[in-house]
Structure 1
Amino acid sequence: MALCWQGALLLSLAAAISVHADMKLKCWPDFVTLVWTESRSQADTSLFRLGNCFPTSVTAREVVFNVYFNDCNFRILVTGDQLMYTNDLTYVSTPGSDLHPFTHLVVCSYKRPKDWYPPTYDPKFITYGQGDLIFHIGLMNDDFSGPAKSTHFPLGSSIPIVATVEQETHQPLLLLLDECVAATTPELQAGSNIYPIITNKGCLVDSKTSRSKFEPRQESSELRLSLQAFRFALGQEVFIHCRLGAWDPSGVDNIKKACHYVKNHGKTLGSWELLDNPAKSNLCNCCETSCTPRSTRSTESGILGMVHKALLGPVTISDVAF
């Protein structure tokens, strides 16, 4: 972030419980300092977390975090001319403790620079000593040659999305989108109003009723999706929640796949097609029912792959003919 940004707002919202403590928050251009002073003598200050980060330092009554926004799973939210970084300060209670776990929302808000565009989502993982996996997801321009310059799309237009994984020292990996849903909130909750895009372990269900499709791969570690702007929450901010998976390319099966529906022009019915090998499109047959593992080799974690949740947006779809 540019150092010329001004007016960082220091905000914190309590969860639905009363917390006897004092919090001091300082938002720098790309860094945050949080000091939590706990008044309850029975609290174990080492059990505080900011996102997935442990405290930088602790004393008997004080917890300090000095962290960058690129760390700790900070979330990015853009509303109007405001750019906000949010995270959760949590207390993880031990079994048998009289203190209940709680969550405290932490927000740093800045004036949005005119030349700022949504970055790709960039968390890092360590996987069984094999090195880092770095996932990205972002909005692109029409030919996928660069990032989108707008997050506003007319109804029926194409929303180009690219997801990638940086493999670093890993063997070649196949990137897949396990599921994606659209919602009007940056966090999914029970009862959230959602629009399904990809479900059933890689089935692009939106392609049955639209022009949405997976684009041909440029490389195994990248997946391109042309998503037709849908009639959901028109005029509102929409967030796309996705689960990405990076897998051994030889492990494609009915739960590790990318399938879209191809319409047969002039005929009543179309068919599901496997992006990476149409000759094996029978793996997509379960898209009409329920895709479940066919063997114990189909797992969601381990040395052959990793899954990760990512958030894209907000985007706004307007009710304007394309």
Structure 2
Amino acid sequence: MVTHFYLEIKVVCEKDAVKITWRIRPDLVPYAARLFLGSCMASRLKVLPSGDGEAHFNYAFTECKFKKLMKGNKLIYQNQLSYRPEAKTKPAAFVYPVECVYKRPEGWVPPFLNPASGVSEGHGGLVFHMALLNELLTGIAKTNIIPLGSFMPIWAAVEQKSHQPLMLLMEECVAATTPEIKTGTQLYPIIGNKGCLLESVNGNSVFLPRYHSSALILYLQSFKFGLGKEVYIHCKLVAWDPDALDESKKTCHYVKENESWQLLEDPFQSSLCSCCSSNCKTRSKRGVEWESHSLSQTTVLGPIIIVDQSDPRANTLVEAAIESEVK
């Protein structure tokens, strides 16, 4: 139960829906039609003997424009209650956040595991995917215009089909202003040294927790390289034995709080990342045996256009992108 200066709100999160009771003062009862949960009006209004009112909102998460997010092992639904005494074009007089948090369902796989868009390439019976996701991580991004400093989630996966369980690794990634890398092409390193996220040292880039060993999300902070131009992300994707990680096959990012490199899959094995600050070359015996069975694919994602929003020319790029989406 949460108390505010003129109301009382109770939120009950159910399996696939939410029930909210919003108690309002008598003078607000005639304006109950101006109370909203996201895009939805109250399901029912009850006037109490005291003259107070109770606005009830009983809606499924598929209604009212709830936002669905995945963060680590959590499934989160977000929305907000609002009181709008004026037209919706005017700011709300009151806003109250609503959030329901659940444990991520076992075996949950995002709906874009087999995307209709993005980059898909087959090799040796395996199909590799790479795509730019939207900011909520719920599907493929609808625009390739990225504001400088914001994050661009890059998803990569390998379809396992009849293969034994595989781990998807991003062994190396660089940015370039061309879809092909040739001699003399200027490159911006993102991942190097056999799976070390170099951009996590100077910036805030990070690997997100895996939902499955065969997929990986690189939460990459946009950079100044190629600013305002078309940028292409070139990545070497590797399908690997999950039980044969070593210094040459790993997923590592730098954790500033600890000032150390951390292994995504198991922080207790972060010693595999110790070479990220030097040169990673060694390989275990099992790794050498598995090397002949591993498969890799260099995949290119783009074009992505990073814009500085303080630059007036950025508006032209954004407007052009919106116009192309409408068409």
TM-score (norm 1): 0.58
- Secondary structure of 1:182's counterpart equals strand
| Distance in 1 of aligned mates of 2:283 and 2:166 | 21
- 2:214 aligns to what? 221
Structure 2, unaligned runs of 5 or more: 1-114, 311-327
- 1:113 aligns to what? none
| Distance in 2 of aligned mates of 1:191 and 1:317 | 22
Q: Quote how far apart the aligned CAs of 1:234 are.
A: 0.5
- 2:9 aligns to what? none
Question: What amino acid does structure 1 have at the position aligned with 2:120?
Answer: D
Question: What amino acid does structure 2 have at the position aligned with 1:292?
Answer: K
Say if 1:301 and 1:307, in contact at 8 Å, map to a contact too.
Answer: no
- Secondary structure of 2:155's counterpart equals strand
Say if 2:123 and 2:295, in contact at 8 Å, map to a contact too.
Answer: no
- 2:159 aligns to what? 166
| Distance in 2 of aligned mates of 1:125 and 1:301 | 16
Residue correspondences, number: 195
- Quick check: which has more Rg, 1 or 2? 2
- 1:122 aligns to what? 120
Relative to its length, the structure with more helix (as a share) is 2
CA RMSD of aligned residues (A): 1.7
Q: What does residue range 90-109 of structure 1 map to in structure 2 within 5 Å? A: none
Say if 2:118 and 2:140, in contact at 8 Å, map to a contact too.
Answer: no
Q: Quote how far apart the aligned CAs of 1:202 are.
A: 0.3
| Distance in 2 of aligned mates of 1:170 and 1:120 | 23
Say if 2:245 and 2:287, in contact at 8 Å, map to a contact too.
Answer: no
Question: What amino acid does structure 2 have at the position aligned with 1:124?
Answer: G
- 1:292 aligns to what? 281
Q: Quote how far apart the aligned CAs of 1:143 are.
A: 2.1
| Distance in 2 of aligned mates of 1:177 and 1:233 | 22
- Secondary structure of 1:250's counterpart equals coil
Shift >3 Å, 4+ stretches: 294-301
Say if 2:145 and 2:307, in contact at 8 Å, map to a contact too.
Answer: yes
Question: What amino acid does structure 1 have at the position aligned with 2:143?
Answer: S
Question: What amino acid does structure 2 have at the position aligned with 1:140?
Answer: L
- 1:302 aligns to what? 292
| Distance in 2 of aligned mates of 1:308 and 1:143 | 27
TM-score (norm 2): 0.57
Alignment pair present for 1:210 and 2:203: yes
Residue of 242, 245, 255 corresponding to 1:252 = 245
Q: What does residue range 1-322 of structure 1 map to in structure 2 within 5 Å? A: 119-126=117-124, 132-264=125-257, 270-299=259-288, 301-303=291-293, 305-320=294-309
| Distance in 2 of aligned mates of 1:301 and 1:309 | 17
- 1:56 aligns to what? none
From the superposition, tell whether residues 188 and 118 of structure 1 become closer, same or farther in structure 2 (CA, over 3 Å): farther
Q: Quote how far apart the aligned CAs of 1:124 are.
A: 1.5
Say if 1:180 and 1:242, in contact at 8 Å, map to a contact too.
Answer: yes
- Secondary structure of 2:171's counterpart equals strand
- Secondary structure of 1:135's counterpart equals strand
Structure 1, unaligned runs of 5 or more: 1-116, 127-131
